[in-house]
Structure 1
Amino acid sequence: MLRIIRRVSYAVSALAILSQPTAHADNIILPPHEKTFESSMGSFTVGTHDEVIYRIAPLNITPTSREALVSTVAYARLDGQAEGVLKTGYSVGCPARLGAVLPGIDPTTEFDLEGPQQNYATEQAQSSTVERASSGETVESQTQESGQVQEFNGVTPAIAVDPGLFVELELQPGDITNVDIGEGKPLIPGKTVQIVTRDFHIKVDNCVGPATIRQYTYVLTRTPEVDDSGAVFGEPAVL
């Protein structure tokens, strides 16, 4: 007898998506930062103040998206005869990114043999005996005997069929992306220049786990003899 066993299994070959509550609107107020660098062209100062991150709920209402509005003032002062630019922006980090959802089929078939099986049956038999009596007459007597007979069934093949239906979530390694604010503000020797940012929109999609942002501000200066630079970094904030 041929038996077919059918099994259907669904597998998700990815880490479980980290549960993230929907972000609510709130403010994160961060401290100021400033540094002064001495250079052969003269000193220069770079800093930030009034940094506020306003976290908002994502419009698509999914746990893998984050949104925020950022406001800050980045500034620099160049005390020397040189030229340069002031640049600011945010670094955005994500632990892992969710890629494509890939359904597929990977069927497998397993063969096996069952048996042999041992059974027992009862068998009965009769026997006759003829005897002669003293009077000369013949007498026939019958006896019945029973016994157990051992039987063996043959080998039974079995097949297990697995359609192998699965869904694969493609998780990609996390990355860090820089988001520049503006093209860079030219420096004026002896004066303080500023980049004022109000409600700059930062959006992160397909992020598994907490997204983190951090402000950066650079000063890049140069003379015919020297290129120099300096930077300050804000405090990391989780969206």
Structure 2
Amino acid sequence: MLRIISTASFTASALVVLLLPTAHADIVNLPPHEKTFESAMGSFTVGTHDEAINRIPPLNGVPTSHEALVSTVAYGRLDGQAEGVLRTGYSVGCAARVDAVIPGVDPTTEFGLEGPQQNYATEQVQRSATEQAQSSTVEQSSTGESAQSQTEGTVRSQEFESGQIQEYNGVIPSIAVDPGLFLELELQPGDITNVDIGTGKALIPGRTVQIITRDFHIKVDNCAGPVTIRQYTYLEARTPEVDDSGAVFGEPTRL
């Protein structure tokens, strides 16, 4: 008699990432930032204002994806005879990166033996046979031959009946089959990536130069946990004698 036990298992690393809520659309307005640097070539100023982050739900509806529309005005001014460029963008930090999602099947099979076992029916048969033997001994005839014959017959009957029960409840092979269904999420430490918006706006000495951004789309996929973004603006100036630079950074904001 074979018994087949079927079970299914579902394992996942950091399954909690699937339970994270999806962000709702909202707009965050951030304060302006400005710095003025003194240099051998003359002073220069770099700054930002009117920064807004519109956090929107991801189109795929997956908690490991994040989206936002960002707007800002970055500016720079050179107050000296120099040349240079203005560049701006966002640093994007992910708490933990989901490297792979691997669904699959890893079946396992276990073989074993169970028994022998003596159940309640076996004990009941043996108890009944013993009582019959004792009763036959008490009611033996004057010669004693009839009692001896009945006792031997009862013992044989006990062995026969008990043997039937033991054969039915003897060693039983068993097979346990586990389909081993799994979903594996491999998490790696999160990255910080720069997303350039303006990569090199030429500066004009004595003039304020701007990079204006409206609803620039930032999208982050395969990120478990929060995503934080921070605006940056660099001014890089140079003369034949000196290279100089300065920067301002916005407020870190979670998507």
Instruction: Give the structure-2-normalised TM-score.
Output: 0.76
The yes-or-no answer on 1:212 pairing with 2:228 is: yes
> In 2, are the aligned partners of 1:214 and 1:235 still within 8 Å (CA)?
yes
Tell me how far apart the structure 2 counterparts of residues 36 and 213 of structure 1 sit (CA, whole Å). 24
The yes-or-no answer on 1:167 pairing with 2:183 is: yes
Q: As a proportion of its length, which structure holds more strand?
A: 1
Q: Cα deviations across residues 46-91 of structure 1 (Å, max 9, x unaligned)?
A: 1111212223333334433333222211111222332211111111
> In 2, are the aligned partners of 1:76 and 1:193 still within 8 Å (CA)?
yes
What's 2:237 paired with?
221
Does 112-121 or 182-191 show the bigger shift?
A: 112-121
Letter aligned with residue 97 of structure 2? R
Tell me how far apart the structure 1 counterparts of residues 89 and 145 of structure 2 sit (CA, whole Å). 117
Tell me how far apart the structure 2 counterparts of residues 159 and 60 of structure 1 sit (CA, whole Å). 43
Q: Cα deviations across residues 199-222 of structure 1 (Å, max 9, x unaligned)?
A: 222223333322221100001122
What's 2:104 paired with?
104
Q: 1:204 to 1:85 in 2, by over 3 A?
A: same
Structure 2 residue runs of 5 or longer lacking an equivalent are none
> In 2, are the aligned partners of 1:20 and 1:209 still within 8 Å (CA)?
no
Letter aligned with residue 39 of structure 2? S
* SS of residue in 2 equivalent to 1:229: strand
Structure 1 residue runs of 5 or longer lacking an equivalent are 132-139
Q: Cα deviations across residues 88-117 of structure 1 (Å, max 9, x unaligned)?
A: 111122223345432212121223332333
Tell me how far apart the structure 1 counterparts of residues 73 and 3 of structure 2 sit (CA, whole Å). 76
Does 95-104 or 34-43 show the bigger shift?
A: 95-104
Tell me how far apart the structure 1 counterparts of residues 68 and 145 of structure 2 sit (CA, whole Å). 109
> In 1, are the aligned partners of 2:79 and 2:205 still within 8 Å (CA)?
yes
1:188 shift after superposition = 1.8
What's 2:67 paired with?
67
Tell me how far apart the structure 2 counterparts of residues 54 and 103 of structure 1 sit (CA, whole Å). 34
What's 2:198 paired with?
182
Tell me how far apart the structure 1 counterparts of residues 65 and 115 of structure 2 sit (CA, whole Å). 58
What's 1:21 paired with?
22
Paired residues in the alignment total: 230
Tell me how far apart the structure 1 counterparts of residues 61 and 104 of structure 2 sit (CA, whole Å). 28
Instruction: Give the structure-1-normalised TM-score.
Output: 0.80
* SS of residue in 1 equivalent to 2:9: coil
Q: 1:178 to 1:112 in 2, by over 3 A?
A: same
What's 2:79 paired with?
79
1:172 shift after superposition = 4.3
The yes-or-no answer on 1:117 pairing with 2:117 is: yes
Question: Which 4+ stretches in 1 moved above 4 angstroms?
Answer: 123-131, 146-154
